[in-house]
Structure 1
Amino acid sequence: TCKTTKQCERKILNSVWGDVPSGEITAIMGPSGAGKTTLLNILSGRCRSNANIKIESDIRMNDYAIDPATNIDVRKQIAFVSQDDALAFTATPREAIRFSAKLRLPRITTDDEIEELADKMLEELGLGECAGTMIGGSLVKGISGGERKRTSVGVELVTKPTLVFLDEPTSGLDSFSAMQVIKVLKKIAQAGCSVLFTIHQPSSDVFNSFDRLILLNRGMVMYQGSVNDCPNFFAQHNHTMPKNYNPADWIMSVAQQYTQEQLITEGFFAENDRVLPPALVPKDGELLNSLGVSRRGDVEDDEWKHVGFGTETRVLFQREIRHNLRNKQGVGARFALTTFISILVGSIFFGVGGVESYTDPSVMVLMISMFGTALPTLISFPDERPVFLREYSTNHYGVVSYFISRLAMEALITFLQILEILLIAYYMVDLQAGFFKFLAIEYALAMSSTAVAVLVGCSVEDPKMAIEFMPILFIPQILFAGLFVRTDLIPVWLRWAQYLCALTYGVNLALLAEFGSCAENVSMQPNMCAQLLGANQVKEEEKPLYWAILWGLFFVFRLGGLAMLRKKATKFY
């Protein structure tokens, strides 16, 4: 039984029961809102009681009482394939399966064994012809929907699970592709697995391929048993299926056409309150032994444990490199736009870097570095959120290893982007500070700005929401940097905000680099340099403080992003 909160108490599932034997595929059908996905999430341990939901259940595996939400041994025997195929779109089916195997199999597993497993999986799933083709996504053409779904199944099967749960595995597929997926599920079941999946309105051929059916209606079980016995069951309750009719369509029409009171009167929910015999309480190792799963002693050898933090980070970083090399549209557009803006700024401020008392060129170069690096980072985290949540929930890796691998990749791309900006704008504008000195300032500012973008990106759920947060991210940076109004003129109760704005310290360091020593090729008197710096409240002796605060903001906001990412991940799973 599954209930929502007391303020709006509603039973989502009510006395649901059923059997999912091994060697057979069992489908869960029912109208929208019947509780199909909720039931699947509870059985797979992805939904548990909390302040908003109360779950009362008696789940058994081989007559042993289990709780999939808390029993780690049971969770390891479960594979869950979500409705949305959350896969890295630049990976190929072979790479996706290999990636899952590298991170989820014991560290004793060799590369040759992983390759052999991937080849076998691709052959069994009928993915041999597209094994080297990019999976693709909404903007990048790739493999077909059916092939993508079978790849999702293969990714979860590398751990050789006992139970396989799938949420709407045929959603969005044509009849032929849907039938191909069902044939794959039957193969999995015949290998000794219990296969349970939700499905909305299958074709007659797909429906007749099922071994068993659980029909939910308004959170209760309307029918549970063999698919072949289903028409006779309905006939016994005064509902005879017409000839030449899709059984799935007819069953759904009966379930939706009549009220719950009418169906109860006809005896459809008679078995919902049946009493089960007492469950067995598994002792150490008994449950796994009953499933034919070997278990090592309590003190396991290191070689049989999950791969370590270093391996997780390395494999994730390798995927990040491959992803960015193949993502020609995203990364290519990022660098092409950087080139265009750099040339535009360089053309407008061409040769004015040496004009006395003119700070705008250096500030503008700083601003395009901040905007150009932070914007793509802001969108990237929510864009890849579905893939991260799926992989985290299936124990591919931890939050920290994922975060560090992303940080390493972003640091590299940010450096290349800053280098590109300076190679164009630095010489066109004729900035006076040394090239590498300005490069260090720009890079520190960019890394601090991207850290803020990461914090915001980890806090929202989709790219559209992230874009809506852009003004909050950038406008305060400009307002509190002293570009339009001196910081000493800002109201006292708002002045504290300047210490959180990386652009403030980037501008201070740039001004010191440009005018701090009054370079010989600048036609200014030393006292004019001092006046310029004084007007902007920039002090030479505080240069180490500016550097410390700039990198301090980087670490603070990055740690904030890590904490937010962990919170979001544990909230869902």
Structure 2
Amino acid sequence: MNTKLSSKRFSVGYESVNTNSSKINDSVTPITVTWENIEVKTRKKGKSLLNRVSGIAKPGEMVALMGTSGAGKTTLLNVLMDRNMKGLEKKGTVKVNGKAIGEKISLISGFAQQQEIFIPTLTVKEYLMIQAKLRMKANKSTRIERVEEIMDMLGLQKCRNSKIGNPGLVKGISGGEARRLTFACELLSNPSLLFADEPTSGLDSFMAATVVQIMRDLANSGRTLIAIIHQPTADLYFQFDKIIFLSLGRTAFMGTPEESIQFFSDCGHPIPKNFNPPEWIQEKLSVQPIEEIESYQRIMNIIQVFETTKFSKTSTIELQMIPSTKLPPFIENPGFFVETGALLKRASIDVIRSPAQMRMKLIQKIVMGLFIGSLYWQQPLDWRGVRNTNSALYFLIAELTFSTMFGIMTFMEHELPLIAREYHDGLFYVISYYVSRCLSYLPLFTFDGAIMVIISYWMIGLNNTLQQVLKSILIAVLVEQSATSCGLFLACLFETTSVAIAFAVPISGLFALLSGLYGNTNNFPVYIQWMQWTSWFRYGFEGLVVNQWTKIDNPKFSNFFRDFILDQFSFKADNYPMDVIGLGSIVLFFYVAGYVALLVRIRMSR
């Protein structure tokens, strides 16, 4: 049954995968990973997920973690990587080359996740070039050479200029190409240790064989590979150097594929002829719905037999004899400005290549500008016209707020898994990502509001001196940025967009009530009056109203009428500078609060 793939180059679609590339054989520091007496329980209920699990993975070995659902495979992989341990209590030790390094293991390893998470609007080459800038401290020509060789090695040249896409939403590369792109990103930093979570799941047999062949050659180059494998074919099963079967949170077997067949035969479960060995073994290690008691007895018997065999004893001896040797160099952070520049380029491309969002925002603002301008067309300078003009100014503030705030809150829910993974891989600081993302959205959530104000300005008949027009645009930009920063803060604070929106609706409504349009704020109770200074509706509305009525090109319009109009809202004629400062302070506060919320959320995600 041992049918190890020997070919060093084989076809993938219309393109070949060159597993004999020089880059796959880059020299690496040998890594031995050991884990001893690992116990994991949930904090709340104390449910045992792993119980006294031990094992070892050596340089050049490709190790498969196998077992049925709930056996503990993912938990063990998370323990080894020191990730996703929220709500869990862990005992035992994990060592790399004889040293316990904790979460720093991310800085010397790669992790190919089961779920491919990318920026869908980027092409394969663009994505890899940005990843290379984040993962490699090298000049541009070296990064280009590295990317080209890895694309050639993994058969990605055919789709190099294709957008990655998003299954079901944006057409892009195939599932097999996406899986290979995941490996390509991790190989850029030439890790000595590579983890993979079900790398063959969701692929057809040929593509699964392609991925396993890539892993096989990576192991042959001296790297250590540990992967969760689900229902492999017999051919793929025998590609692995070591198989670890888990069941009920304990080790049921650890050894070579050939030894697993002999072991289960000795346990009274010989594999029938023409039956896939891993499927048969996993069936014997699973709890059958109707035969729970018999299943538990069978599994515990297999575990007890394993613990008394030479396989378990050999592993125990090896764990005690592993010497402490040097570690490979940690991945170095490229620095704030380099990583911010790379992330800004990635985010800007994503925004530019999302024409639907840009188009809809521009259309929306143009339509609303025309609508407000038509609704309040050329208001006369009488009391009815004054009231209508003030209403028009308020509606400009409202439109700049609601569409902006609710529009920007959708991005974080889909992007956070990618950002959290890259951050924990040591690729960048959270502040670098946050600054780059905010800057990428700045034009999109600035110019559209200014366009709406300009369109409606002369239609309403507002005072059109150059100074007043520019002051109105400044207020509009600051109001839209206030809504943008608040939306970003809520998106970073809450896990889902629906929860963020549910919280944003009453908050924005409260800010709107404090604008002054719905009541003179000086008449509010004392314990509520202070809240008006937290509302950008208040600062924005006052700024536009003061700017409009401070200078009127009409000799009959005196300061008396100006002050009378402003006094209805408790506004003052010289408050425009304070309104600008107030809006700027709100923008700064929410941007800083959003960063803190994102930082806490990402750090807790580990």
Same fold, TM-score > 0.5, yes or no: yes
Q: Which of 67, 86, 109 is matched with 1:30 structurally?
A: 67
Q: In the alignment, what sits opposite 1:270?
A: 307
Q: Summarize deviations over 1:158-205 as a string: whole Å, max 9, x none.
A: 111111001122333333332322222222222221111112323444
CA distance 1:5–1:244, change in 2 (3 Å):
closer
CA distance 1:202–1:281, change in 2 (3 Å):
closer
SS at match of 2:473: helix
Match status 1:175 vs 2:205: yes
CA distance 1:279–1:230, change in 2 (3 Å):
closer
Q: In the alignment, what sits opposite 1:482?
A: 516
- Measure, in 2, the Cα distance between the counterparts of 1:59 and 1:67: 6
Q: Which of 151, 170, 195 is matched with 1:122 structurally?
A: 151
Q: Which of 295, 300, 313 is matched with 2:340 structurally?
A: 313
Q: Which of 104, 112, 116 is matched with 2:141 structurally?
A: 112
Q: Which of 164, 172, 186 is matched with 1:135 structurally?
A: 164
- Measure, in 2, the Cα distance between the counterparts of 1:543 and 1:335: 28
Match for 1:17: what amino acid? Answer: S
Structure 1 position 562, deviation (Å):
0.8
Matches within 5 A, 1:206-225: 206-225=236-255
- Measure, in 1, the Cα distance between the counterparts of 2:574 and 2:449: 27
Q: In the alignment, what sits opposite 2:601?
A: 568
Structure 1 position 348, deviation (Å):
2.6
Q: In the alignment, what sits opposite 1:528?
A: 561
Match status 1:336 vs 2:363: yes
Q: Summarize deviations over 1:198-257 as a string: whole Å, max 9, x none.
A: 123234443344332111111111111112222221111011222222323222211114
- Measure, in 1, the Cα distance between the counterparts of 2:589 and 2:144: 41
Q: In the alignment, what sits opposite 1:559?
A: 592
Structure 1 position 353, deviation (Å):
7.8
Structure 1 position 294, deviation (Å):
6.9
CA contact (8 A) 2:341 2:436 kept: yes
TM superposition score normalised by structure 1:
0.89
Matches within 5 A, 1:33-182: 33-46=70-83, 52-61=87-96, 64-70=97-103, 72=104, 74-106=105-137, 109-137=138-166, 138-182=168-212
CA RMSD of aligned residues (A): 2.5
Structure 1 position 263, deviation (Å):
2.3
Match status 1:322 vs 2:349: yes
- Measure, in 1, the Cα distance between the counterparts of 2:380 and 2:339: 47
Q: In the alignment, what sits opposite 1:301?
A: none
SS at match of 1:8: coil
- Measure, in 2, the Cα distance between the counterparts of 1:173 and 1:467: 37
Matches within 5 A, 1:238-317: 238-256=268-286, 257=288, 258-266=294-302, 267-270=304-307, 275-276=316-317, 278=320, 282=324, 286-288=325-327, 293=328, 306-317=333-344
Match for 1:440: what amino acid? Answer: L
SS at match of 1:14: strand
Match status 1:360 vs 2:391: yes
Structure 1 position 339, deviation (Å):
2.8
Structure 1 position 5, deviation (Å):
5.0
CA contact (8 A) 1:47 1:69 kept: no
Q: Summarize deviations over 1:488-544 as a string: whole Å, max 9, x none.
A: 3434333333222111100000100111223439x7554332211100110123332
Q: Which of 349, 352, 358 is matched with 2:376 structurally?
A: 349
Match for 1:278: what amino acid? Answer: Q
Q: Summarize deviations over 1:95-144 as a string: whole Å, max 9, x none.
A: 222112111212xx111110000011111111110111111114211101
Q: Summarize deviations over 1:39-74 as a string: whole Å, max 9, x none.
A: 1111123256x8x4332223344xx4222425x4x4
Moved more, 178-187 or 3-12: 3-12
Q: Which of 501, 514, 518 is matched with 2:548 structurally?
A: 514
Q: In the alignment, what sits opposite 1:379?
A: 410
Q: In the alignment, what sits opposite 2:473?
A: 439
Q: Which runs of 5+ in 2 are unaligned?
A: 1-37, 289-293
Give % identity: 26
Q: In the alignment, what sits opposite 1:299?
A: none
Q: In the alignment, what sits opposite 1:466?
A: 500
CA distance 1:269–1:8, change in 2 (3 Å):
farther
CA contact (8 A) 2:43 2:89 kept: no
- Measure, in 2, the Cα distance between the counterparts of 1:543 and 1:471: 28
CA distance 1:420–1:204, change in 2 (3 Å):
farther
Structure 1 position 279, deviation (Å):
5.4
CA distance 1:398–1:524, change in 2 (3 Å):
same
CA contact (8 A) 2:284 2:298 kept: no
- Measure, in 1, the Cα distance between the counterparts of 2:412 and 2:553: 43
Q: Summarize deviations over 1:440-485 as a string: whole Å, max 9, x none.
A: 0101111122111111111122333333333134212212212323
Q: In the alignment, what sits opposite 1:414?
A: 445
Match for 1:319: what amino acid? Answer: R
Number of equivalences: 549
Q: In the alignment, what sits opposite 2:259?
A: 229
Q: In the alignment, what sits opposite 1:539?
A: 572
CA distance 1:541–1:340, change in 2 (3 Å):
closer
CA contact (8 A) 2:519 2:569 kept: no
TM superposition score normalised by structure 2:
0.85
- Measure, in 2, the Cα distance between the counterparts of 1:18 and 1:179: 26
CA contact (8 A) 2:65 2:226 kept: yes
CA contact (8 A) 1:511 1:533 kept: yes
Q: Summarize deviations over 1:5-63 as a string: whole Å, max 9, x none.
A: 56521221112122323333221111212221111111123256x8x4332223344xx
Match status 1:492 vs 2:526: yes
Q: Which of 421, 431, 435 is matched with 1:404 structurally?
A: 435
Match status 1:548 vs 2:581: yes
CA contact (8 A) 2:180 2:211 kept: yes
- Measure, in 1, the Cα distance between the counterparts of 2:406 and 2:412: 11
CA distance 1:209–1:340, change in 2 (3 Å):
farther
- Measure, in 1, the Cα distance between the counterparts of 2:281 and 2:332: 47
CA distance 1:527–1:188, change in 2 (3 Å):
same
CA contact (8 A) 2:42 2:49 kept: no
- Measure, in 2, the Cα distance between the counterparts of 1:231 and 1:104: 42
CA distance 1:180–1:533, change in 2 (3 Å):
same
